[in-house]
Amino acid sequence: MIALGSDHGGFELKESVKLLLKERGIPFEDLGTNDGNSVDYPDFGEKVARKVSLGEAEKGVLVCGTGIGMSIVANKFPGVRAALVADVYMAKMAKQHNNANILVLGGRVIDENEASEMVATWLDTQFEGGRHQGRLDKIAALEKELYR
Ligand code: RB5
């Protein structure tokens, strides 16, 4: 299951990501926001990142105006590897090298077609493991040290 969240700046793009997931038959849970009225991105970033951190969602997609605020929030959560991507290459690397479990998009930065391509690429790419797993292990060790 993929958890989805946005603020008002990412609302429209989140809706377009839902269409892609529906087309592909991928289960998702939309945790809001549900319209274009102004809200605070930490409130929605938290909902998605908490679910991914607890293993209640396998992956997440977060969208705000730039993607920056959502990235900052999501990466506070242990086990979350949230990647803000601005093109298809970054989306591919986010999975292949970083095994990102949350993809973050900027609703005021990219259009719906670009977002679809990026989400599809992230979903279809495999994590390469090997030396990249070693790097992720170092991040996990840092989390243990910092948050225990
Ligand atoms: C909201 O205006 C905007 O600040 C937010 O969507 C996001 O871009 C923050 O990083």
CATH number at residue 80: 3.40.1400.10
Q: What is the pTM of this model?
A: 0.98
CA of 43 to the centre of ligand 1 (A): 12
Does the beta carbon of 66 lie inside 6 Å of ligand 1?
A: yes
Q: Residues of the chain with pLDDT > 90: what percent?
A: 99
pLDDT(147) > 90: no
Does the beta carbon of 104 lie inside 6 Å of ligand 1?
A: no
CA of 123 to the centre of ligand 1 (A): 25
CA of 37 to the centre of ligand 1 (A): 13
Q: What is the pLDDT of residue 23?
A: 97
pLDDT digits (tens, 9 = 90+) for 2-36: 999 999 999 999 999 999 999 999 999 999 999 99
Question: 49-88 burial, b for 16+ CB within 10 Å, e for fewer?
Answer: bbbbbeeebebbbbbbbbbebbbbbbbebeebbbbbbeee
Number of domains in the chain: 1
Catalytic residues: 64, 97
Does the beta carbon of 7 lie inside 6 Å of ligand 1?
A: yes
